[in-house]
Each structure stands twice: as structure tokens, then as C-alpha cells.
Structure 1
């Protein structure tokens, strides 16, 4: 059989092609990326937002002009090279202009999850040290202006730009992108941008020339085993490489019209959905929050050719009331084996680029087989290293490299690897050879293909999001009636894993599953709230020598409990 990637000796040390041999890569800073695509595709439609029967549309030239205007306002507000600009928004046009505007001003776009509770947002603001926060006020039932004022009461009485907070000492300017009226120290959107004329365009041009690919470009957050979100700082080069690559991996033509309601504040969706579309000169059909019936209508009305959705959303789409009434024949880039491809109006032979592996730390994909790779090459594997990447499989304890075919911990390094976790020295993160130890288990076969086997650590991957069980247990430990709590991921066909909290109640306490879940809802984002809560006697839990609950055995017990409920 043909070897597909370079294997060094008989060790599990496997390399992708040299970065210099990769084709189809353009500008490598976010500002230059936008300039390149907006120049190349100036009059094409870049984004669409529908409200009822009306639609607002923006061209690539509009996207450039509006991003430049925001950049000029940010510079007038004091943003300079390396300044962090928080962006708290759903998939709306202003997310795009805020992100690219920050890059054009020399700043670091710092994306924040709109599922965040007040407690989680407080952590994000404190750890990110952003100087500017651009946010969407109303997201479903949340009012982020009210939440921010609750976190920092000074905002209610101070004037815009005059916030001097001990809790958020770097935060100076806040603006609501979905409101023209301000409140206290929070400005409306137009008022915030009104100072753009104070910054000459020549200065933006100069900033663009003086931001280099190695500079920090974005700060994304991912759940970690410490129980708090990890801030992952990435260089412009890593982000842009992935944005150019995704178009090639998906084999998009210039006809692509993409829909996704997954937040662009997730690195995966930023590179996968947004990057692939813009690098192809396509149109992004924006839906701020996922509503299945509305999504199907958007796909039909806007002649969507590609949907970036997670499996649990596919199920909601096929179960939607209007599933049998819509025409989805525009879908060209839809995996022929997906539930959506079973719609009677869809005729697809396309196979998605799903045989892949990656992490937020590598700004998504680090090994990949592109779309339409034959099954005899890709089946059952997670790709080969992408250009410039080197993998090794090591013994988790000794760090020694395993022979080909033997399982161990996946370690990787390459051009998209993060600059660092904020607040953590890199020598605490990388090994002596500069590899990032992922905490995931797997092996390479004799053809250089990666086989991912699951995680050595406890991070739960549910519906495309990473969830820290430690973070959940910290919250549930404060729930009345809870003595011991251990949260695990239980395999699930739809979501990959579901979050299950296993609890030992305080002796004599009467506590219900609904009580625990309702307590969690007050403190945690919706996707972190346990889908199920199971109760155990203390002697039912197997413990380690250091008095920790054995996760593997507990998962098996949880699986058995849940299976028994179905019989």
C-alpha cells in the first residue's frame, strides 16, 4: 500500500509536506487577508442577513469599507498594536467588521461565547484584559448590558470612556452593536464609530503594512482541565493559513453560499465556515441563533450550497415542521451520507472533509483528508499531517516516541500552533522539542494516517464544543444537598458525548435531578448543563489511592444506568 505521509524511521514521527510546497495560500495577516479578498471579489455578495421577508446584503467592498471605518474608530479610542478588543456577538455582520476592524487597527480580536453566564463573562473579561468590548446587547433572553452593569456598577453612572474599574482595570470603552442608544458608560454603535474621522486613512494603511504574520492576531477561549476557560493566543499566520486551506480542503468553487448558526467565536467555525467562504469569494448567510425551521427557510430562500452544522443540528433540521415543504436542491456541498442529503430534493455525490483531527491550540485542523477522498484511503482514520506539521505519538508518562502502530499520546507542532495560553509560560506547555502534548490518545499506521482513539484527559466533547467536567463540578459542589460530584462524558450517537453528573447526596438530603440541573442553569452556559444527573451511594464509587473517583469505571456505571432506563 502507498505511504501517504513521511514517516521517520519506524517511529511514530510523521510529517506533512513542507510548508513551502503548499499551494493556494494568500496574505497571512487578517487585515491583508480581507484586503486581498475584498479587492479580488469587490462587487460580490459577502454576507446576507434576513429579517422576515426582507434581506440586508453586503458586498466585499462593503465589508472592507465598514471594517476600515471601525478600525479608524478603534485607533481613535486608543487601540494600538497588541491591544485586545473583546467581541461578544452571535453570527451577525458586525462580528465580521469588528474582527477585521480590530486586525486593521493592529489589535487582537478577542472572541467571547454568547452562551456565557454572568459568572463566566466575568472570568473572560478579567483573564482577557481587553481594553475595548464590542457586544450584542440582546441575545435570546439575555441582556448583556444589564449583565455588564451588574458586574461593574460604575458603568451605570460613568460617561463613555471614563470607566476606571478595579475589577476590569484595562477596560475603557464599551459599545453595543445592536443599539444606537447608549447607557451610562456604554455607547451606542454609531456613537462609538463617530470618531472614525479623527484617524486618517493613511494611518490605517501604515498599520496594515506594519502588522506581520507572526504578530498576535486572535484570542479564542476553550474549556480546560483546570476548570476555567483557557485563553489561546494565535498569530495571524496560523489563522490565515487555515482560512485559505479550508476552501481547498472542502473543494469549493466560486459558487459557494454558506449557512451556519454555530458561533464564529468557536475557532472551528471561524476557520471552517467563515474562512472557507470568504477565501472562495462566497456569501455567508448569517443566522444569529439556531432555529431549525428558520434555517431551512434560509437555505431555500438564499440558495445555500453548503451548511456548516453539527450532527445534533442535522437531527433538528430533519425533524423541523417545514422539512417536507422546502426545496433544498441548491445544496451542492452536502455530504451524501448526511441526514440532510436524504431530503427528496437533494442530489449529492459530495463527501465532506470529515476525516480530520485538530484542536483550538492548532487553530483547528492539524491532520486532514480533503473532501471526496476515497473510502479505501480515508476510512476509519483521521487524516495525514497537513503542510508544515509534525506529529509524534509518545508514552504519556515517559515521553518516549512509540513505534508505528502503537497507541500513545498525540503530540504536534507546526505553523498554526498557538503562541501561548495567556498567563501560562510556554515551557510549562510544550515539551523539550517544542511539541504540544494534546492529552488525546491515538496511533499512526504504516501509511502515515492518524487514528484518534479518544482522550487521555477528561475533557468532554459534546455537540462540537469542549466542556470541562472540573468547571461543572466546581459549580455543583455548591448545590445544596450535594456531597460528592463527578461529571463525565457518556458516548452519544447524536452529540458525540453527553454531559452526565454523578452525585452522592449529603446523608439524609432529598435532592432531585431537576433541582441539580436548575442550579447548574444559573451558573453555566446551556451546553455545559448536565443532560442527566445520576445519584449514587458513596460505596458505589470506585476510588483511586489518592481518593479520586475513577472516571473510566464511573462512565461504565453511567452507561449501564442510562441503558437500563430504556429497557
Structure 2
């Protein structure tokens, strides 16, 4: 008798509870009508506090839309957003959609080479950019990329290197170091002048355009992390954004207004969908921090009564290392992602367990998840069931054939939040003949439709005949006090095939014990998964992408070099 194939169909999208409007203009209109006078956006900056209600956010978004229309933005025009997390980011995102355009979210970590690539590939017509982010001067970078920007007047850009770019709009940086002055570009309007440009466009024009934006229209461009080459441009529909906005509160069991914080950029699909979704879909507020600053986080959490913190274990480790850690107040917290280190604090009394979920940028964050409270979530290897509308198959990565249920293979997905495609790539380069996206991730499914994800196929460590996921080991290591970054790799071994090696960056000033960490891991991992070697590196030695993701291949090479014995004379 043949075993059932690993082909899983989720319930249809029409049966998903809690959904509202599925275009970006429809979404912001609906939440504004529900929560009009509630506080929606908060940002502390240089001793001042900006507070926007839902009505303010709507009006600011309409103002941006009017100005974009005045700049010539029409259906599917690309509008670049190069900013830290600030109120204008939100009005730019929703305003672009209201005008009929497509938001292109660009990382503030971008190097000049990456920025040129992103602008060219995305064919940005209007770039809304923050002039300085810490030491980085984006005006100067843009001027170096295209000297013609200095000669042009606002609205009259004619760029040989960036032929689609017609308008530049700058905002004063909120993280720029004191005493620094950004480079000026003759062709760039400042934000206030940009808003004035739209005053001759009737609001009725914006409303008419917004009504013509459909859920399956293009909504935004994200970029892959670029760990092996230049980032790919990932085009998403309107509903890819909004479905995830509506989903997070249901999946995480949020039954009251949520005051949501993150220190991670909205140019990543996870932080964007989580923070906007948990806050605005519940009638709560986004508590914005332009960049992660551990010294400011503790007071921000307390003073703004934050209920949800979204971040990563290495950020929690930085908080834990602060002198004021013992005086921190986490009593308002109800949800925190991967927050074991925060939960060690005596004021953190939440009993919430983060639902395991799996997704990619190509699926606009999650494609499978548990709902809060499911006891099966206790298994860290289990990433829940497919979200409504999705179809998943597990295939042999070499032949593409579907494997039997329970057998390991490559995870393939299609569904309502799957990307429309990569820019510059034909459909057959993005999807297989059945329309599935082959994720490059390994895993298997059980008879209940649960996905057991095992990490990137090319990252899986094969040791002593077993397959080991670096992700599982790194999750355990990240819970050890004093760890800032961790990347587990496999290095060649004569008898094991590969040996498991943990590569760790401690928090500055911390001295970690290899023996103590090994003992800690033996209590949490099967014996064959405990690293045989633990190597410590400085932050400067650790290779990261522009988006602060670890370059696993380069770390592996570092580990091999470190472990090599000196040749005998």
C-alpha cells in the first residue's frame, strides 16, 4: 500500500476568520473608521514625543498621496522608502498605495553599491529618503552615485545611471549624530515642501484612486537578504500585506489593543507585518524606535506601557547587559518574541508562549503557524499548520517529485501571500510548472499537516549519519546569558562527515565559559546535536550582510581556519 504524499491543502481563504479589507487603502480606511481617535503612532525623539491618532495617520497618508500624484505617480509607479522606523514611514506606505503606486522598501543598512543596485532594479521614480542615519549620509551617497542630481532642479531629474528616478524628497534624520550636517542635493525637495506640492490635488482624487486599488494589484517590493549575491527584488500584492496584518492578532491571541514595539526595520517583512498588524488591527499603537538603542528601550517600554516586544535574542542580551537591567520594568508586557532572556527579569510576568511559525520574505513572512495556546507548540521542531489559502508540497530536491508523508525534502508553497515574482525573472525562473515556489528549505509534514522545518537545505549539517538543523542549536545558544550573535556550522570531519561547531559573538565585556555553555546545551539538545567545538569571535570578525544577517558560509570558512592545526615543521 502506497504511503500518502506530502501534499497539504489548507482551508480556503474564504473560511479565515477576522479578515477585513484586503487592499492597503481599504485596510487603513477600515481601521481608521473603527478606531478614529485612538492613539495609533508614538515616537520619542530628542526630548519630544510625536503622537498620531488613527485620524492623523489617515490625514497624513492622504497628504502624501496628494503630493505623490502631483509628482506624477500613477498606477504601479515605484515609490522608494529609505527611512528608519518613524511616523512618515507609515504615511509613505499607505499614501503610496492610495495614489496607486507601489512602495519599494529599502534597507538603511544598504552600502552605496547595494543602493545603486536596488534603485536600478526597482525602477524607483520617487525616492523618499532620510538624509542621515547615524554616520551614513544618504544625500552624499546619492550624489556620488549620480552627479547629475546636483545639476537638476526639483522635479527635473534626468539621470543616465538611474533613468527612472524623477523626484527626490528628503527628511531630516532622527538618528544623525549631533554636529553633523547632511549633504544637500539641488534636485531634492525637503519633506514640508513636498507636502505643499500636493495642496492643489483634490482629496476626492485620492479617494477615487484608492477605491480602484484591488487586493491582487501590486502592493510593494521587498528585497532578499543577499547573503550570496546582490539582493533579488520580490514583488508582493496588496493582499500579501493586509492578510498578514489581519492574521497576527488571531494567531497570537490578542484580544485587546496592543502597544507594539520593535527595534528592527520595516524594510523586513516580519517586523512590518507583525508591528503594523498587532497594533493597528487591534486598535492599539505602534511605539516606534528608529533604530535599536538598548539604552533607550528600557524607559520606552515602561513609559509607553508597551505590551508587545518584537525582536531577537541578541537584542535581549544587549538589554540584559545594561547597568539599569535590574531596575527595568516589564510589568506591562504580555507578548515577547523569543523572549526567554527578558522573562528572567522579576517584573516580567507574562505566561504567553510565542506560537512557532515559518515563512520567508517571498511569502511576506509566515505561511504556517500555530494559534496561541495549542499544546503541540511545545515541540520546537514543529512550525504549525498551513495558513488558509496555502498549498504545500515536500519534494525531492533533486527530482522535484513529491515525497511520501513524513519523509524529508524541500518545502514548496503557493498561496495568497506568495510573491507575484522576482523582478527581471520569468515565471518559470520563480515557480515550478505547478506554480509552487521552491523555498530551498528542508522539512517534512506529519499526518496532521504540521510542518517540521529543518533549516536551509544547504545549511543542514550531516554529522554521524544524522541531519542537524543549525537553527535549532542557535535557538538554544541564544538563550544563554551573554550571547550577542550565534551561527552554528558544520566543518569537514574525517569520521563524522561534518562536525558541529558553534561560532559565537559575546556581548561586549562578557566572558563566556565554553564548559558552562556546553553543560547548558546538554540539558536542551540531544547529545549528537551539542557542538563539539565552541569558538568565540569579536563583532568585527563576524561577517554580516547589510541587513545584519549572518553570512553562514563565511562563518564556516572562519571556523575551518580557526580549527586548522599549525603545520609541523
Of residues 312-321 and 389-398 in structure 1, the stretch that sits farther from structure 2 once superposed is 312-321
Flag the 1:72–1:459 CA change in 2: closer, same or farther, 3 A. Answer: farther
Q: Report the equivalent of 1:527.
A: 548
CA–CA separation in structure 2 for the residues paired with 1:145 and 1:227: 25
Measured after TM superposition, the shift of residue 277 of structure 1 is 1.2
Q: Secondary structure of 1:307's match?
A: strand
Asked whether the 8 Å contact 2:3–2:404 carries over to 1, the reply is no
Flag the 1:408–1:496 CA change in 2: closer, same or farther, 3 A. Answer: farther
Q: 1:38 aligns with which of 32, 35, 54?
A: 32
Measured after TM superposition, the shift of residue 255 of structure 1 is 2.8
Q: Report the equivalent of 1:213.
A: 215
Q: Report the equivalent of 1:231.
A: 233
CA–CA separation in structure 1 for the residues paired with 2:60 and 2:291: 23
Q: Secondary structure of 1:156's match?
A: helix
Asked whether the 8 Å contact 2:454–2:471 carries over to 1, the reply is no
Asked whether the 8 Å contact 1:335–1:349 carries over to 2, the reply is no
Measured after TM superposition, the shift of residue 201 of structure 1 is 1.1
Q: 2:304 aligns with which of 281, 298, 302?
A: 302
Asked whether the 8 Å contact 1:490–1:558 carries over to 2, the reply is no
Q: 2:193 aligns with which of 191, 194, 200?
A: 191
Of residues 325-334 and 238-247 in structure 1, the stretch that sits farther from structure 2 once superposed is 325-334
CA RMSD of aligned residues (A): 3.2
Asked whether the 8 Å contact 2:310–2:337 carries over to 1, the reply is no
Could you list the runs of 5+ residues in structure 2 that have no partner in the other structure? 174-181, 462-469, 479-483, 492-535
CA–CA separation in structure 1 for the residues paired with 2:550 and 2:366: 27
CA–CA separation in structure 2 for the residues paired with 1:533 and 1:18: 42
Instruction: Give the 5 Å matches for 1:34-433.
Output: 34-178=28-172, 183-224=185-226, 227-334=229-336, 338-353=340-355, 355-375=356-376, 379-433=380-434
Measured after TM superposition, the shift of residue 371 of structure 1 is 2.1
Asked whether the 8 Å contact 1:489–1:500 carries over to 2, the reply is no
1:391-443 deviation line (CA, Å, top 9, x unaligned): 11001111111111100110011111111100001122211111111111110
TM-score, L = length of structure 2: 0.81
1:117-149 deviation line (CA, Å, top 9, x unaligned): 111111111111000000111111111111111
Of residues 47-56 and 233-242 in structure 1, the stretch that sits farther from structure 2 once superposed is 47-56
Asked whether the 8 Å contact 2:394–2:408 carries over to 1, the reply is yes
Flag the 1:122–1:65 CA change in 2: closer, same or farther, 3 A. Answer: same
Measured after TM superposition, the shift of residue 231 of structure 1 is 0.4
1:76-123 deviation line (CA, Å, top 9, x unaligned): 100001000000011111111111110110000000000111111111
Q: Report the equivalent of 1:442.
A: 443
1:158-201 deviation line (CA, Å, top 9, x unaligned): 21111101100000001112279963011111111111122111
TM-score, L = length of structure 1: 0.82
Q: Secondary structure of 1:223's match?
A: coil
Flag the 1:531–1:54 CA change in 2: closer, same or farther, 3 A. Answer: farther
CA–CA separation in structure 2 for the residues paired with 1:364 and 1:345: 31
Asked whether the 8 Å contact 2:215–2:237 carries over to 1, the reply is yes
Flag the 1:374–1:336 CA change in 2: closer, same or farther, 3 A. Answer: farther
Flag the 1:533–1:250 CA change in 2: closer, same or farther, 3 A. Answer: closer
Q: Secondary structure of 1:391's match?
A: strand
1:339-371 deviation line (CA, Å, top 9, x unaligned): 111211121111112x11111111110010022
CA–CA separation in structure 2 for the residues paired with 1:352 and 1:499: 23
Question: In the alignment, is residue 456 of structure 1 matched against residue 453 of structure 2?
Answer: no
Asked whether the 8 Å contact 2:225–2:549 carries over to 1, the reply is no
Could you list the runs of 5+ residues in structure 1 that have no partner in the other structure? 1-7, 461-487, 503-512, 535-550
CA–CA separation in structure 1 for the residues paired with 2:397 and 2:198: 53
Flag the 1:299–1:78 CA change in 2: closer, same or farther, 3 A. Answer: same
CA–CA separation in structure 2 for the residues paired with 1:187 and 1:49: 24
CA–CA separation in structure 2 for the residues paired with 1:48 and 1:365: 26
Q: Report the equivalent of 2:528.
A: none
Flag the 1:496–1:456 CA change in 2: closer, same or farther, 3 A. Answer: farther
CA–CA separation in structure 2 for the residues paired with 1:444 and 1:198: 57
Flag the 1:528–1:388 CA change in 2: closer, same or farther, 3 A. Answer: closer
CA–CA separation in structure 1 for the residues paired with 2:542 and 2:379: 44
